Chains A and B, each alone.
Chain A
Amino acid sequence: MKAITTAALASFALGIYAAEIPKAPVPPSPYLPIMYKYADAMVERGRDTKGLFYSALDRATMAPLTNLPPAPSGVREEHRVGRYDFALVGSNPFHDENLLRLLYTLSELSGKPKYRDAADAELRGVQYDSRYLPDRPWVLLDRGFHVAPDVSRRRAEPRIDDFMLSFARDGGFRIREWAAVYARTNNEDFLDALDRFAGELVARRDPATGMIRTLTPEISHPLALSGLSLAIDCDAASRLVPDPTATRLRSLADEQDRMFCALPHDLKGRGGFITGDAEATGANRNTTLWTPRAGRYRVGHTTAQVAMMCVSRYENTGNIAYRDLIHAAADAYLKSMPAPDDDVWPMTFGHAISLQVAAWRSTAQQKYLDRARELADFAMKHFFDQGPLPRASLKSTHYESITGADTLALGFVELHLHILGITAVRYPPNTIDR
């Protein structure tokens, strides 16, 4: 009887209250249209006759630059495209790697093949400079094999100087590529190269700190961050190769995880990750929030950039030490904005946005999603203030992809998909800037 009464009450409730539940509005997301404009501009006006993307452009005319604009803060002249005594004209697929990933994602989202076709054209036409040491791993090898297998294979072939790569980070990039080629071809040469190089890295490990020494100790290098990057690539590679190589790579990744997570990172107090070996450098160096410390050979890392490496490790391992670091790093950006004089890169905003989104995924705390929006709104206003292309930095006026306009674009897409709860199209992880 009680059940019937309760059922009757519920039936009554179904009729009475159905209209009273407040409806929430669809949340606004202005970020994707900006990305389509950026992509359209690059596809339609930002390519040379071979279909390669210009890595620098005049934002006002949408044409190749005819001069050499001042480099954004922290960018070394020799790392820029083109001849540094002439105009800033050239194409570097590593600088545009996230742009290519953006284009593939936009084709999936829009159903329009033109973005994917443009990215494929770049993969077909690109000439890799084997002497160039990028700041990113090449994660488009699978697609490259699909559209231009010979180019991709040639690019990945082991070279003698690979085994003399000084920094663990760069070694990790090659390990990733060799594993990808092996998975595609079963060519044992790549497996042998991978084994040999992994062994050399293990031999260079400092037994006390776990950090992998450089071959050029005279050059200051962020060994801890290099090891973290290596962990990402070794773990990725281990999923593509058979045992015992896979186990060896996983062990290497595990060791670097332990090394990095054991460091006394003071994100709450100093807002930074420790970058290297305190004993070797005499002091703990920390990452900074907005403008990385420039080194002699390369620019340093921001906290958000390193935090995105932690995101990669956390989301691929579930290791809660990384989870705690991600949350602490996201907290450090909750209130901070660049100082008026800071010449901040779009890349840094891209990382900061993706970091907040990662913290949102992990904690389900609204403050992180709200903060991601605030950072994206600032970036939209200050980088995309004139035309469809973003400026190279807050103090630059031209477009130059070396400072991570494409990384900012990925941050926008990731945020957009999270705001609208879209999962049919997966966002590319914003974790390749190392």
Chain B
Amino acid sequence: MKPLLSLVGLVVVSAQCIASPATNFLEVVRRYADTMIEQGRDTYGPQKSGLLLSALDRMTLRPLTVRPAPPGGIRRGDRPGRAWSTMNGANPQIDQNLLRVLYTLTELTGDSRYSKTADEELKWFFENTMSPRTSLLPWGEHMSWDVMYDQPISGGDEMMHEFARPWVLWERCFAIVPDASTKFALGLWEHQIANHKTGGFDRHAPYFEHGPVDGKDFARHAGFYIGTWCYAWKHTTNEVYLRAIESLLGRFERKRVQKDGSLAATIGPLDCEIAAPMVPEELAKRLREFAAKEDELMIPGLRKQVEGGTNAPPKWESGYSEWTLASSAMFCLGRFEQTGRKEYRDLLIAFADAYRTSRPEEDVDAWPMTFGHVISAQAAAYRLTKDQAYLDEANRFAKMAVDCFWQDRPLPRASLKTGHYEAITGADSLALGLLDVHAATRGLKNPIPSNTIDR
């Protein structure tokens, strides 16, 4: 009871989502993590897996007994639970930033139970939920692990493996579950890629049986696969992974050329740049050149977004395939961190400026993820410019987010119009944003993971 009361003491709820200046963001995040560790893990069904549940009843801190109202923009089939039924799934891919938060909390607090919980999640999930036929995992955009039935489940009608985000925890996975990580990487090549020659793939690959269909690819997913295989190569030196990277890279080198001869951005540069240092020089060079060309093709569009062009994404309203200006800011941050290019620095700052004094538009069902990105954009702009105004804005948004999403509970709600906890809308990205502000405000040197994986 005492910890809960102390949180309530921290979070002063006002009529306009503006908290007391005393809000301690590290404590808010820590309480979130503590609650998930103590009450949000799988102790249900025959197998007590310890997996973190991706949705919970915020009032009882227990598994949901219903399928709650969806946050705005979230599709039926993407939620962590069986179709039309109770929502009791664990999906490490949509909890990925929470796992990164747990590792970071151990670094910030010295308490090892946070990283231990994250390690246990990775270990159990990789060793126990993998499809025996395809070696794919029940995670990502449509699948999760039902903690009551101890089974892989889908939010929709079909059991399809599709990445929801890039997986950036491969280094840790290869350290603690090397065999399972290798198997997954191979399964991804064998069962997600329909045509190994052309690199044609199916972003939706059947989980139980082989069956990808050529020509159902989304370019960004190629980046997620390349970002997997580079680690598999690094840790196994099995050349199949180099062939896999080459196959998909070649596909998009061809696909970026349009019918009229013009060029269009495809995979994006981030995952190619991640992969480059891990692979042999010839392929690395190709990846870097590909990434640089993607920059050239993407930067004009980003400039138009900043200028408020007609195709500019909204500031606050998120949804399936609906990015916000703040998510573009996070892309710029990610690329600036990789390359140091001034264009990306300037764009990031311009995006941060676009949010100055902003609040969600009336009646928008804003997500915690969007707040997380806005906060991280302001914090990054502060780091780059040392202009206190950005840090002040980061603090203002962080306080607003704590009041609006955490309210009087230890877990944040899924959106401004819903009341339950559901990780799919990026509570974990918001937590990363809060750690960003905490570190920036206190001048901490501890690295906070980049809030750049929601893409």
B16 interface residue, CB < 8 Å from A?
A: yes
CB distance from B11 to the nearest CB of A (A): 10
Tally of A-B residue pairs with Cβ under 8 A?
144
Q: Are B363 and A429 in contact (CB under 8 A)?
A: yes
Report how many residues on chain B are interfacial, defined by Cβ distance under 8 Å. Answer: 59
Residues of A within 8 A of B416 (CB): 315-316, 318
Task: Give complex CA distance A362, B66 in Å.
Answer: 13
How close is A289's CB to chain B, nearest CB, in angstroms?
Answer: 24
The answer to whether B82 and A239 have CB atoms under 8 Å apart is no
Say whether A10 contacts B129, CB under 8 Å: yes
How far in angstroms is the closest Cβ of chain B from A259?
10
Contact status B319-A423, CB under 8 Å: yes
Interface status of B250 (Cβ within 8 A of chain A)? no
- Asked whether, in the complex, the Cβ of A424 is within 8 Å of the Cβ of B68, the reply is no
- The reply to whether B14 and A25 contact each other, CB–CB distance below 8 Å, is no
Query: Is A18 in contact with B16, judged by CB distance below 8 angstroms?
Result: no
Q: CB < 8 Å: which of A7, A17, A319 contacts B130?
A: A7
Give Cα A363–Cα B208 distance, bound, in whole angstroms: 36
A320–B419 Cα distance when bound, in Å, is 11
Contacts of B172 in A (CB 8 A): none
Q: Which residues of A contact B359 (CB under 8 A)?
A: 238-239
Q: Which A residue sits closest to B66, measured CB to CB?
A: A366
Q: Interface on chain B toward A: helix, strand, loop, or mixed SS?
A: loop
- Complex contact B66–A364 (CB within 8 A): yes
CB < 8 Å neighbour of B131 from A14, A422, A426: A14
Q: Which chain B positions have C-beta within 8 A of A3?
A: 123, 127
**Which of A25, A239, A246, A422 is the most central at the interface, judged by chain B CB atoms within 10 Å of its CB?**
A239
Contacts of B258 in A (CB 8 A): none
Please, how many angstroms separate the alpha-carbon atoms of A7 and B320 in the complex?
34
B57 near A364 (CB under 8 angstroms)? Answer: yes
Do A320 and B408 touch (CB < 8 A)? yes
Q: Are A26 and B84 in contact (CB under 8 A)?
A: yes
Q: Complex formed: what's the CA distance from A239 to B355 in Å?
A: 12
Task: With both chains docked as a complex, state the minimum distance between the C-beta of A123 and any C-beta of chain B, in angstroms.
Answer: 20
> Bound complex: CA of A361 vs CA of B74, how far in Å?
14
Q: Are B67 and A421 in contact (CB under 8 A)?
A: yes
Cβ contacts under 8 Å, A231 to chain B: 15
Of A312, A362, A363, A423, most buried by chain B (CB within 10 Å of CB) is A423
Minimum distance in angstroms from B357 CB to a CB of chain A: 6
- Contacts A24-B84, A253-B15, A423-B319: A235 and B68 contacting too (C-beta < 8 A)? no
Q: Which of A32-73 contact B (CB under 8 A)?
A: none
B216 at the interface (CB under 8 A from A): no
Q: How many residues of A contact B (CB 8 A)?
A: 57
Q: Whole-angstrom distance from the CB of B312 to the nearest CB of chain A?
A: 16
Task: Give chain B residues whose Cβ lies under 8 Å from the Cβ of A418.
Answer: 69
Q: Please measure, in the bound complex, the distance between the C-alpha atom of A301 and the C-alpha atom of B413, giving whole angstroms.
A: 31
- For A402-428 the 0/1 string (1 means CB < 8 A from B) is 000000000000000010111110100
> B339 near A: Cβ within 8 Å?
no
At the interface, yes or no: B354 with Cβ under 8 Å from chain A?
no
- Chain A interface main SS type: helix
Cβ–Cβ contact A17 & B16, under 8 A = no
The CA of A235 and the CA of B364, in the complex, are separated in Å by: 13
Contact of B70 among A357, A421, A429 (CB under 8 A): A421
Return chain A residues, CB-CB under 8 Å to B208: 14, 18
B441 interface residue per 8 A CB criterion: no
Interface presence of A257 (CB below 8 A): yes
B404 x A13 contact (CB < 8 A): no
Contact status of A13 and B150, CB under 8 A, knowing A6-B128, A360-B69, A364-B419? yes
Contact A319 B13 (CB under 8 A): yes
Are A316 and B71 interface neighbours, CB within 8 A? no
Which residues from chain B contact A11 at a C-beta distance below 8 Å?
130, 132
Contacts of A236 in B (CB 8 A): 362
Q: Which of A231, A246, A361 has the most CB of B within 10 A?
A: A361
* Smallest CB gap from B400: residue in A: A318
CB distance from B53 to the nearest CB of A (A): 14
Residues of A near B16 (CB, < 8 A) are 235, 250, 253-254, 257, 317, 319
The answer to whether B72 and A426 have CB atoms under 8 Å apart is yes
Complex contact A21–B82 (CB within 8 A): yes
A111 within 8 Å of B by Cβ? no
Question: Do A364 and B69 touch across chains, with their CB atoms under 8 A apart?
Answer: yes
A284-B82 Cα distance, complex, nearest whole Å = 49
Asked whether, in the complex, the Cβ of B151 is within 8 Å of the Cβ of A18, the reply is: yes
Residue of A nearest to B146 (CB): A21
Interface string of A237-251 (1 = CB under 8 A from B): 011001100100010
A196 located at the interface, meaning its Cβ lies under 8 Å from any Cβ of chain B in the complex: no
| Chain A residues within an 8 Å CB radius of B84 | 23-27
B83 to chain A, nearest CB (A): 7
Q: Does A258 contact B (CB under 8 A)?
A: yes
B152 at the interface (CB under 8 A from A): yes
For the complex, what is the distance from the CA of A261 to the CA of B67, rounded to whole Å?
A: 31
State how many angstroms separate the Cβ of A17 from the closest Cβ of chain B.
5
B151 to chain A, nearest CB (A): 5
Contact A362 B419 (CB under 8 A): yes
Query: Are B404's CB and A318's CB within 8 A?
Result: yes
Interface contacts beyond A7-B130, A364-B420: sample of 9 additional A-B pairs, CB < 8 Å, sorted by A: A239-B360, A242-B357, A254-B14, A315-B365, A319-B13, A319-B17, A320-B408, A366-B65, A429-B363
Query: What is B's interface to A at a CB cutoff of 8 Å?
Result: 13-17, 47, 57, 59, 64-76, 82-85, 123, 127-132, 146, 149-153, 180, 208, 319-320, 357, 359-363, 365, 403-405, 407-408, 416-420
Q: Can you report 16 A-B residue pairs in the complex whose CB atoms are below 8 A from each other?
A: A22-B85, A23-B83, A24-B84, A235-B16, A239-B359, A254-B14, A254-B16, A315-B416, A317-B15, A317-B16, A318-B405, A319-B15, A320-B13, A323-B419, A364-B66, A424-B319
8 closest Cβ contacts across the A-B interface? A257-B15, A318-B404, A364-B68, A24-B84, A362-B419, A24-B85, A10-B128, A361-B69
